[in-house]
A and B are shown apart, each in its own frame.
Chain A
Amino acid sequence: MLKGRHLLEPLDFSISELDDVFALAEEIIIQPELFARVCSGKLLATLFYEPSTRTRFSFEAAMYKLGGQVIGFSEPNSSSVVKGESIADTIRTVACYADIAVMRHPKEGAPKVAAYNTSMPVINAGDGGHQHPTQTLTDLLTIKSIKGSLNNLTVGLCGDLKFGRTTHSLIEALARYEGIRFVLISPEELRVPDYIRKEVLTKKGRSFTEVESMEEALPILDILYMTRVQKERFFNEEDYVRLKDRYILDAEKMKLAHEDMMVLHPLPRVNEIAVEVDNDPRAFYFQQAKYGMFVRMALIMKLLGV
């Protein structure tokens, strides 16, 4: 039963609860018109303390397509946050009006603070370099739809694995499935945080290797999950400039991959996937974005219990 629950971290839902969300998303994909009024009279609050285009649009589109309404802010300067209001007070106030809230925040764990201060469902839409569980729902639904299963896959994650919240969430979520092998491709400075290496991978006995060469990894992958090196996560501009174009996937490198490897990317991309790869049938990142809206529709419905 997901009604009234929060989604703060990728493991908040069991595998069978995730399957329920995916099954509903698949129903919505087939006949979206059947769901056009299920959230009539419900209000979604979007609390975006950090810029976002696709995640916010995706949530707003999801709520509107369910017949609900949306309130919120898309940058903190347009809200009482600028006056120094705490997250706890903001969420308590918002809960007086809204039925469900989505929060993006530059600080890690911020949605958890919100959730601890309200019984209204809170969805983490990205907290700093920490987690991004609804992107993971999107990623899992995309993989499941294309590969038919979430088991027995060799998954390469490439780029900024230190601050890349989508990769942290995806690793945690996929680590629960059978026969998953991770290949973590990053420069030394951008390797996964200790808690992912120790608590998620090592302690649970998951198969993983850490490499620096994308070319070396490509031939063995079923999925390549590319990420952007995020300028906003660096304290030091020099480090960003040095690392930002470390990995660029282009048509030449795609020749090294096998013919049914999937290329995913949470988007937005900058230079890490050359535009020429977009036409490769193995490129699924735009399809992935579409799944994002459907899975968020399913999530909103489940948390509201409609």
Chain B
Amino acid sequence: MVLVNSIAKGIVIDHVSAGRGIKIINHLGIDKAEYTVAFIMNASSNKYGKKDIIKIENEIDVDLAALGLIDPQATVNIIESHVITRKINLKLPEKVVNIITCKNPRCVTSVEKNAPQIFRLVDKENREYQCEYCDDIVDVKGE
């Protein structure tokens, strides 16, 4: 058993699907952080068997839509004075802006660089999103 201290103030991203923690670390860009970050891989979980956990001892802005896209199973806990003051269950966002990029070479976003990349959730089960402009469908399982 690995012991990691609780944090006084910051964010704990819990119940991350085992193996997806590194994607969240990369997304948040906290691999180069100067404050304390604990990254636990393959911790045991009653609910999921194994999970990753990320503890960040700092107040940082997180894009819940982007995190939900990476791992809708995860939870974000806001910690103040060692106590969870807010718990957010992530979910696949209905709409994402400037997170997924349309891969269709015929899509207008391939030439109109300032147009926001907008995608809407069309199939929750298969994690499929549809481009607002060209209607191309992408699955975000690998995001």
Contact = CB atoms under 8 A, between A and B. Distances in A.
Contacts of B59: none
A152 to B, nearest CB: 28
Contacts of A110: 108, 112, 133
Query: Which one of A88, A105, A198 has the greatest number of beta carbons of chain B within 10 Å?
Result: A198
A128 B106 contact: yes
B137 A109 contact: no
Contact of B112 (A87, A129, A193, A199): A87
A169 to B, nearest CB: 11
Q: Tell me the interface secondary structure of chain B in the complex.
A: loop
Nearest to A233: B106
A116 B106 CA distance: 19
Given A195-B130, A195-B137, A199-B130, A112 B108 contact: yes
B30 interface: no
Contacts of A194: 137
Contacts of A127: 108
Interface residues of A, number: 21
B38 interface: no
B28 interface: no
B130 A108 contact: no
Given A88-B115, A199-B122, A107 B110 contact: yes
A125 to B, nearest CB: 15
A86 interface: yes
A217 B132 CA distance: 34
A130 B134 contact: yes
Nearest to B115: A113
Given A88-B115, A107-B108, A127-B108, A112 B135 contact: no
B106 A129 contact: yes
B114 to A, nearest CB: 6
Interface string A101-131: 0000111111011001000000000011110
Interface residues of B, number: 21
B107 interface: yes
B122 A108 contact: no
A12 to B, nearest CB: 14
B75 interface: no
Contact of A113 (B122, B133, B137): B133
Nearest to A198: B137
Interface in A150-204: 193-195, 198-199
Interface in A11-37: none
B135 A130 contact: yes
A105 B137 CA distance: 21
Nearest to B110: A107
Contacts of B122: 198-199
A129 B133 CA distance: 12
A195 B119 CA distance: 13
Nearest to B133: A109
Interface string A278-293: 0000000000000000
Contacts of A116: 115
A198 B130 CA distance: 11
Interface string B98-109: 000000101111
Interface string B111-139: 11111000000110000001111111100
Contacts of A198: 122-123, 137
Contacts of A87: 108, 112, 115
B112 A88 contact: yes
Nearest to A87: B112
Interface of A: 86-88, 105-110, 112-113, 116, 127-130, 193-195, 198-199
14 contacts: A87-B112, A87-B115, A88-B112, A107-B106, A108-B104, A108-B134, A109-B133, A112-B132, A127-B108, A195-B135, A198-B123, A199-B130, A199-B135, A199-B137
